[in-house]
Amino acid sequence: MKKVLKVLLILLLVIIVAVGALLGWLTATEYNPDPVIGLTALREDATETLSAGEELRILSWNIGYAGLGKESDFFMDGGEHVNSADEAAVRRYLSGIETTVASGDYDLVLLQEVDVDSSRTFRINEAEALASGDAYQALNYSCPFVPNPNTLIIEPLGRINSGLLTTSEFSISSSERHALPCPFSWPLRIANLKRCLLVSYLPIEGSESQLVLVNLHLEAYDSGEGKIAQTKQLREFIRSEYEKGNYVIAGGDFNQVFPGSLEVYPNEHPDLWTVGALDESSLPGEGWQYAYDASVPTCRLLNQPYDPADTENTQYYVIDGFILSPNVELVSVNSLDMAFENSDHNPVSLCIRLK
């Protein structure tokens, strides 16, 4: 009996030391970017300058790192899998995403969850595949090893480098990464996302004003305070840019439902994911507006592979869209029904005019 206890104590000590070493390594290598970082372009091929008065077509899409298509589920949403797509599926999803983006003839594209060197997507450089015109990426997730929160080293997420990608067929003068508040404390913080805004400045011909294009992906799996704090910082930032005389468009995955959309898609599974909610107080002030389309859901819960016939267990949300400053005219906005073929989100297409 003493020998058995000794062996068990040695095993316990080994586990404690191993976990401690893992936490120490992740703490030492934690991604901790400065509050504002100037970004280097992935591509600089745009030759035209933006003009006021013309219509612009904009696409926003959380592509789910080309790993969360119709066959996928995800353990954080009540599904079974940590890594839910093999390499063939990732390449198929990415090809479908490329086709959708390229075939739309968009002037500006805001993409979220774009991997560049991640285990879950087999180190495929998705940003390179999707970049066109002037293109910038800002990482919001960079970690050499993401443990499985339930089992640590058994079926981990592994290495993740992922973020936001903005592309433009018009010249971008500069782009910046603006850090958002992180709601997590140590040790959850060390292998978690570090959310940010990808802010791009586009000059306007014959004007001192600029178009300030904000690509965003706000907190998902927090208790709610993170979404609120990040939305507040977003609101203050876009207000300050508008007060400088600029045009402002902020778009992406808010991880909060837009006003009225819960009436269309009630949250039947709050035990799996409790979604936040946007309201008028989230806007900077009078004349600002949301641009979204609740006729088509923009996101599905990943509790199971996509099965629209299973109405009891298929949960939809409208959490993707835009905020427009008062000097931006909304022409149209449409959620594109892609049947969640290549991502757990549907893209949102926006047409606007700078007044």
Q: Can you give the pLDDT at residue 152?
A: 65
Quote the distance between the C-alpha of residue 313 and its chain's center. Answer: 24
Q: Can you give the pLDDT at residue 16?
A: 79
Say which range, 15-19, 68-72, 195-199, has the weakest mean pLDDT.
15-19
Which fold, 36-354? Deoxyribonuclease I; Chain A (3.60.10)
Residue 124: which pLDDT band, with cuts at 50, 70 and 90?
very high
Say which range, 145-154, 165-174, 288-297, has the weakest mean pLDDT.
145-154
d(CA 34, CA 12): 39
- Summarised one tens digit per residue, pLDDT across range 207-259 is 999 999 999 999 999 888 899 999 999 999 999 999 999 999 999 999 999 99
pLDDT, the chain, mean:
94
- Residue 15, pLDDT > 80, answer no
d(CA 61, CA 336): 10
Contact 147, 199 (CB under 8 A): no
- Residue 204, pLDDT > 70, answer yes
d(CA 173, CA 3): 70
Share of the chain above pLDDT 90, in %: 85
Q: What is the mean pLDDT of residues 11-31?
A: 80
Contact 319, 258 (CB under 8 A): yes
- Residue 14, pLDDT > 90, answer no
Residue 312: which pLDDT band, with cuts at 50, 70 and 90?
very high
- Residue 332, pLDDT > 70, answer yes
Residue 214: phi and psi, rounded to 5, are -115, 120
Q: What is the mean pLDDT of residues 314-333?
A: 98
Q: What is the mean pLDDT of residues 133-159?
A: 89
* Cβ count near 120 (within 10 Å): 23
- Residue 106, pLDDT > 90, answer yes
Residue 198: which pLDDT band, with cuts at 50, 70 and 90?
very high
Q: Can you give the pLDDT at residue 7?
A: 67
In the chain, alpha helices (H): 2-28, 87-103, 126-130, 225-243, 261-264
Residue 272: which pLDDT band, with cuts at 50, 70 and 90?
very high
Q: Can you give the pLDDT at residue 13?
A: 74
- Residue 41, pLDDT > 80, answer yes
d(CA 242, CA 127): 29
